[in-house]
Structure 1
Amino acid sequence: MNNSFLPEPIDQAASIDLSDKLKAYLFNKFPLNDDCTASSFTEGTEIQFWEDFLMNFSNGKDIFNALKECYPSLNFLIDKEIDKAELYNNMLLKGTTNDIKLTSYIKLEDTKNISLELHESIAGKIPVLTIPNNEDFVKILQSIIHKNNPLPIPASMGAVLLNGLNNSKRFNIIKKNWLQNNPFGDWNTEFSNNIMLKKSLYKDKLIILSTKPYSNVTASQLGLEEDLWISYSISIRKEHEFTHLYTLKKYGQATNNLHDELIADYIGIVKTIWNYNKVWMLTFMGLENYPHYREGARLENYVKESKLSPDDFKQLITIIKNAIENIAIFDKAVGKVKSIKDQTCRIDALCEISLIDLASANGAALLIDIYYENFHRTLF
């Protein structure tokens, strides 16, 4: 190993006197998954559904209206406690999407430019829904994630990977086909015994992307031209979500945690500009003027449920800053991403090292060692 890449000693506050809450937050939730095989990344029935869906898609019908058949919540207004209405629950629980008659329904600003595509990622194909208008992006997330309640979507949030999303159209196709083949059968019994537990038959993985500046960071903050930064933002965001898909399939984890986010942002950046830019990363997290934290930045999105004390938060921003510094040293040591194997070995190494270890004085050296061990193991 080239010792010139090893880190200088940095603040070790990350490894001492942590509260129980902060230790719990920093606990590495990526277990070693010895059961993961190539089959974990094979295409399921949902990909065939989306291939057929897109092939049969009518140009006279915008994609948003077509998706209403898949996700009935997209028919309803964004309104407080609308999910308690009888019609809402009947549609979502029973999957009824035909002959919908609503006196009021969700209206978007720019449906014609919403796009849906199947993208090939390092973890297989996945449908990606891109929503250019930010107000529309917020409404669709409120509809799908918050059951049409007007809960706030952080300005720094620009994408989401959804897992286990009920698809009424897929469900209704299964039901229709079974009833045609079993006209005298009991569908309720069939569903309970043979369908309900096979969630992949009717539940989706879906990425929803906006096209706004990444992490709500402006081009001027990074010294870039506006058009170039928007292009970079879309690429970083997409690769970020593909990384979450990979960790979900391999480790069963894609959580709202800073460990996940540092990994996904690292891959997003290096797949976009080929090397890690720690200044960008610090800015994404609101730490460009460390130790000052910029209120409203992305970092706080991932700790809201943890109820950390002000002292915990102060220690956490030191941990994140040091982790970013060590990832930068690691990236310089291993160079540009050369292959899919190289990319996945980097992700695996970042998953296997805890944030506390990554933020320590020898965090970069530990990460480099794990990466090379993983890389060489895949050769044999």
Structure 2
Amino acid sequence: MTAPSSNTLLRNSHIALPDELEAYLQNNFSGKEISHEPVAVDEPYGAVWAAHLASQGNVFQLLRACYPQLNFPIQDGINKTQEYIDAVLKGKPCTAGYTPVLSQPERVRLQVHASLIGTVPVLIVPDNEDFVRLVQCFLHKNNPMPVPASMGASLLNGLNNWERIHALKRSWLRTNPAETWNQEFSKNVLPNPGLYKDKLILLSTKPYSNVSADRLGLTEAAWAAYSLSIRLEHECAHLYTLRRFGCATNNLHDELIADYIGISKTLGTYRKDWMLAFMGLEAYPAYRKGARLENYLGDTNLTPEGFSQLTTLIKQAIESIARFDTALGPIRSAQDQMSRMDALCTTDLIDIASVKGANNLLQTYQKSAEVMKYNQND
């Protein structure tokens, strides 16, 4: 008897998958308590960065004041030095005199974007090497960890902003004794991260997913503009799931959702051929080694057969999402976008990839839209 192909297995309701792939495909959004609070809430950091933008000051100089790690070089183990600990973890002045981490800091641009969850600061970094350094700085504590060429954006959540902390202290000291600041900080500041922690979107300007303009049949200028827009909307989608479900993970389920929003918001419709190229599956069943799909496997140790099953599943999920998008048409409103994202989040990836994937999504979308409409009218 001939063994069923991975394609057949994935299309059946009872899908035989290896344990490590089964574990990877667990829905990170399932079982999460969905927040029914208003999604669009401008946190304090939004107003602070909007004020910085209005002042038209030196962007990188401001960043160095907010995030002391930018005053240190990319160097193995530097985060363990006393200078780094004092500056980054304790907010003490950095007196080491290191050369700034970026080679072209004057090209870094700051903007404040009105996202689905409220305003969010965005840093646009045209120099690719500087983008890599910022990722190493913020995500890897200034250690020279490799950054995939296909990575062009990062959502930085929970950054300590020492400029905001120092401003709180200055305000406190104007009307209170200096010796009570530590008590005030422990009692009223530390338990309220919104007072001193930032969310920040970091964007490069290189081609999205390291896919060339030629591969998509576009001019360099058009693809550069599309790439930046897709990246921004993609990261804002992660912000939405973080607000709504308390979850934004480095997983292919999350990435399919975020790319769906990125493409659809940028073009007005979903392009499955673009999505396949972003994942290295444009010549499916062949896989283009080094594509973005690899960035999200973490420590998952898949056999060649398991990886083949995963690529089949991702290909079929993209097909289902394309049919889902065609049925709904262009995103019409914030409520419409939220209902689509909720449907994609709460439907398991393996169900999205099934033959009934588009119908599963549409049914969940309708339920979500009805609940939102009811809550609006309540």
Q: Same fold (TM over 0.5)?
A: yes
Query: For residue 305 of structure 1, what is the amino acid of its counterpart?
Result: D
Distance in 1 between residues matched to 2:267 and 2:178, nearest whole Å: 60
Distance in 2 between residues matched to 1:264 and 1:320, nearest whole Å: 14
Distance in 1 between residues matched to 2:52 and 2:265, nearest whole Å: 29
- Secondary structure of the structure 2 residue equivalent to 1:120: strand
Q: Contact 2:9/2:16 (CA < 8 Å) preserved in 1?
A: no
Query: Once superposed, what is the RMSD of the aligned Cα atoms?
Result: 1.7
Q: Contact 1:96/1:168 (CA < 8 Å) preserved in 2?
A: no
Structure 1 counterpart of 2:60: 64
Distance in 1 between residues matched to 2:335 and 2:39, nearest whole Å: 16
Q: CA deviation at 1:52?
A: 2.4
Structure 2 gap ranges (5+):
1-6
The 5 Å alignment of 1:12-51 reads 12-13=9-10, 16-31=15-30, 36-51=35-50
Distance in 2 between residues matched to 1:18 and 1:49, nearest whole Å: 49
Structure 2 counterpart of 1:83: 79
Of 340, 345, 365 in structure 2, the residue corresponding to residue 371 of structure 1 is: 365
Q: Contact 1:170/1:202 (CA < 8 Å) preserved in 2?
A: yes
Structure 1 counterpart of 2:54: 55
Query: For residue 85 of structure 1, what is the amino acid of its counterpart?
Result: T
Distance in 1 between residues matched to 2:120 and 2:31, nearest whole Å: 24
Distance 1:365 1:40, change over 3 A: closer
The 5 Å alignment of 1:221-236 reads 221-236=215-230
Structure 2 counterpart of 1:295: 289
Q: Deviations over 1:154-211 (max 9, x none)?
A: 1000001111111111111112222332215432232222221211111110000011
Distance in 1 between residues matched to 2:19 and 2:175, nearest whole Å: 57
Of 340, 348, 352 in structure 1, the residue corresponding to residue 346 of structure 2 is: 352
- Secondary structure of the structure 2 residue equivalent to 1:105: coil
Structure 1 gap ranges (5+):
1-9
Query: For residue 351 of structure 1, what is the amino acid of its counterpart?
Result: C
Distance in 2 between residues matched to 1:116 and 1:277, nearest whole Å: 29
Q: Contact 1:12/1:360 (CA < 8 Å) preserved in 2?
A: no
Relative contact order higher in (CA < 8 Å, ≥ 6 apart): 1
Q: CA deviation at 1:213?
A: 0.3
Distance in 1 between residues matched to 2:234 and 2:39, nearest whole Å: 19
Structure 2 counterpart of 1:170: 164
Q: Deviations over 1:72-115 (max 9, x none)?
A: 00011111111111111110111124xx4334323433222211
The 5 Å alignment of 1:79-158 reads 79-97=75-93, 100-158=94-152
Percent of aligned pairs sharing the same letter: 49
Distance in 1 between residues matched to 2:362 and 2:209, nearest whole Å: 28
| Number of residue pairs matched by the alignment | 366
Distance 1:138 1:372, change over 3 A: same
Q: CA deviation at 1:226?
A: 1.1
Q: Contact 1:32/1:352 (CA < 8 Å) preserved in 2?
A: no
Q: CA deviation at 1:350?
A: 0.4
